[in-house]
């Protein structure tokens, strides 16, 4: 928007604020104001006072001399102006190249006519209007980044906030700035949490004071002006509620992000929501983000390295990692079998040709191999994985290598996976991002992700699995007869090719291929999936991970093989029971991106998990 357009938009916003205030004033505190008259476009009940407010501003934009789009709580998405009013789908409108220039709106208004409706009905002075104005992008969806003007008026006390992108924020025509509190034990915190959120409880319990006023737009503005030190909404705020207040917070110099500390740039839509965390400065904001995500970012002082050994590039890259950590003052141990391969390659007269071939096949490794230092005494730092005692284990390979490494580690050592396999669903990063990610980890800019494991017991023998246990016949194309119990209650008796007992981590592996659901790893549960059952009603179950699962073989003369994470094979016979329960110890992964799981689901599973790397170890 140019200066002229901003003036037009500002004048329209001022008029809407003035007229809505005048229209609702007679109804504030009156019983009829709270009468529920319909369900709004956003799916929430609409009160009579909301209708009065929204009708007022819609009429102003309808009769304006310019065309505009509006996204509002009750009416949804409309195209207004020059005496017209038409329902639209904003995404379709913005991607439509056939609209005449004269029919193209100048602005997108995101409006919550009354935020804090319950307060208005009870005449509690914390309710107001929020108006954000975005430019209309060409040929793409509009996002929060397109918002250039923000206006919030508290009808309860007359306070008026406004902000212009890149120019600053004002309260009642005076510049505002956030507070300078840096310790969450001294902060005033506002917001909405969710029941059962223990990390949020820690914030609330340790804050100096907690405020809940019932108006997201006003409370976010209080962070901008120093009345609050922080605000969060873990329920998810509608974009129409935060579009103006986000700009106000940022222009005042405060911070507003997602729960994981990421920039908010959601698309502009009546249906869009975002979890928001706002704070006065980066120091306090980071403390809040760390607590909400249970980020126990310990100092990394010692690192263990494990790798697949069937690829020369993985072995040589392990050597590069040893040099990287030693250069950064980090103590290193490396898997013995990897050291054996390094020493073998060091003696190979064709090593230069091997490296050239690797670089040709994997150009992203060229920089890593430019100054490859193989003059390190690798034998001196060699250890078996089961003897690693370190702060982090770096694993090069695919999911199979990670599963093998975690099974051998005696301690709950956090794993950092570098994908050198086919899928690499459990790994954190791709090869090209290795050193940028490790730089972040060594700075403490990471978080630990907890994954549960299974304990498998059979005939007084005990095993563990992180992904899944597969029970199947020892002979191909033969079915078995199973009885499946959960906490002593029989839930299924079925003939099938096999049964999978999976953790949430394993839900994207064999369990998914066998028709099981994809399960968020944060869910506390196990999945039971019959493989090709000879029974129409046999379907997967998701059960609590506090349960004990028992699988019994009911067919005489047939043995079953049960396989833990594709690593360990054991046999079971007729009427023998295989029992499953949650392991006491968990597996921890070091993550540098909070978008790990769902991003992986989209990236790794969209094409069947294939990429350019060979092998799946």
Provide the 3-class DSSP secondary structure of residue 113: strand
Residue 399 appears among annotated catalytic residues = yes
CA distance 335 to 251: 51
Block residue for tokens 């009065």: 52
Q: At what angle do helices 312-327 and 351-361 cross, to 10 degrees?
A: 90
β-bridge pairing 209-211 and 230-238: unpaired
CA distance 479 to 485: 19
User: What b/e string do you get for 538-551 counting C-beta neighbours within 10 Å, with b at 16 or more?
Assistant: bebbbbebebebbb
CA distance 423 to 512: 14
Name the residue among 44, 49, 57 with its Cα closest to residue 30: 49
Token output for 296:
């126990």
| Active-site residue, selected from the candidate residues 233, 241, 399, 428 | 399
| Residue 378, CA distances (Å) to 325, 342, 444 in order | 13, 8, 27
CA distance 380 to 48: 78
H or E stretch at 501: strand 498-502
Strand segments, DSSP code E, in 251-361 are 255-257, 273-279, 302-307, 331-335
Query: Sign of the C-alpha dihedral, residues 24, 29, 31, 34?
Result: positive
Residue 66: count other Cβ atoms within 10 Å of its Cβ.
15
Sheet arrangement for strand 76-81: 84-87, 76-81, 68-72, 107-115, 128-135, 147-154, 160-164, 168-171, 174-175
φ and ψ of 562, to 5 deg: -120, 135
Contact 52, 63 (CB under 8 A): no
- Secondary structure (DSSP) of 22-39: HHHGGGTT-GGGG-EEEE
What's the start-to-end Cα distance of the chain, in Å? Answer: 53
CA distance 133 to 136: 10
Token output for 102:
């004269």
CA distance 232 to 288: 10
Token output for 50:
């909301």
Block residue for tokens 């563990």: 464
Catalytic residues: 399
């Amino acid at each position: 928007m140019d200066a002229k357009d901003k003036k037009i938009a500002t004048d329209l916003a001022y008029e809407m604020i003035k007229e809505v205030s005048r229209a609702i004033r007679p109804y504030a505190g009156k019983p009829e104001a709270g009468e529920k008259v319909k369900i709004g476009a956003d799916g929430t009940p609409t009160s009579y006072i909301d209708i009065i407010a929204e009708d007022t501003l819609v009429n102003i934009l309808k009769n304006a001399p310019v065309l505009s789009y509006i996204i509002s709580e009750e009416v949804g998405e409309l195209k207004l102006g020059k005496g017209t009013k038409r329902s639209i789908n904003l995404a379709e409108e913005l991607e439509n190249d056939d609209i005449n220039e004269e029919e193209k709106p100048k602005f997108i208004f995101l409006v919550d006519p009354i935020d804090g409706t319950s307060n208005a009905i009870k005449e509690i002075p914390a309710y107001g209007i929020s108006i954000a104005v975005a430019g209309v992008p060409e040929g793409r969806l509009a996002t929060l980044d397109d918002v250039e003007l923000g206006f919030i008026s508290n009808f309860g006390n007359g306070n008026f906030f406004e902000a212009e992108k890149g120019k600053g924020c004002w309260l009642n025509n005076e510049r505002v700035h956030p507070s300078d509190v840096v310790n969450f034990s001294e902060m005033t915190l506002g917001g909405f949490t969710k029941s059962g959120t223990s990390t949020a409880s820690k914030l609330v319990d340790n804050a100096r004071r907690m405020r809940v006023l019932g108006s997201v737009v006003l409370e976010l503005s209080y962070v901008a002006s120093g009345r609050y030190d922080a605000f969060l909404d873990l329920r998810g705020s509608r974009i129409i509620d935060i579009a103006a207040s986000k700009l106000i917070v940022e222009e005042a110099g405060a911070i507003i992000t997602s729960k994981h500390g990421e920039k908010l740039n959601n698309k502009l839509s009546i249906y869009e929501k975002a979890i928001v965390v706002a704070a006065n400065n980066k120091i306090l904001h980071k403390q809040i983000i760390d607590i909400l995500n249970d980020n126990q970012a310990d100092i990394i002082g010692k690192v263990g390295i494990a790798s697949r050994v069937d690829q020369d590039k993985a072995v040589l890259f392990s050597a590069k990692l040893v040099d990287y950590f030693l250069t950064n003052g980090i103590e290193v141990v490396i898997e013995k079998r990897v050291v054996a391969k390094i020493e073998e390659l060091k003696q190979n007269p064709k090593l230069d040709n091997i490296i050239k071939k690797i670089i040709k096949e994997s150009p992203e490794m060229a920089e890593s191999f430019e100054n490859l230092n193989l003059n390190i005494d690798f034998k001196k730092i060699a250890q078996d994985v089961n003897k690693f005692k370190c702060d982090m284990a770096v694993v090069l390979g695919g999911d199979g290598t990670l599963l093998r490494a975690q099974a051998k580690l005696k301690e709950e050592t956090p794993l950092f996976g570098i994908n050198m396999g086919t899928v690499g669903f459990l790994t954190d990063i791709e090869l090209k991002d290795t050193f940028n990610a490790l730089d972040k980890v060594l700075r403490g800019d990471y978080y630990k992700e907890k994954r549960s494991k299974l304990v498998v017991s059979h005939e007084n023998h005990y095993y563990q699995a992180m992904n899944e246990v597969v029970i199947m016949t020892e002979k191909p194309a033969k079915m078995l007869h199973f009885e499946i119990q959960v906490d002593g209650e029989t839930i299924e008796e079925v003939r099938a090719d096999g049964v999978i007992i999976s953790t949430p981590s394993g839900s994207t592996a064999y369990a998914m291929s066998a028709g099981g659901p994809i399960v968020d790893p944060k869910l506390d549960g196990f999945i039971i999936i019959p493989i090709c059952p000879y029974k129409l009603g046999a379907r997967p179950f998701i059960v609590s991970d506090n349960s004990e699962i028992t699988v019994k073989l009911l067919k005489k003369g047939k043995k079953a093989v049960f396989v833990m994470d594709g690593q360990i094979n054991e046999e079971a016979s007729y009427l023998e029971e295989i029992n499953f329960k949650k392991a006491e110890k968990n597996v921890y992964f070091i993550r540098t991106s909070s978008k790990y799981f769902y991003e992986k689901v989209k990236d790794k599973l969209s094409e069947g998990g294939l990429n350019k790397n060979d092998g799946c170890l």
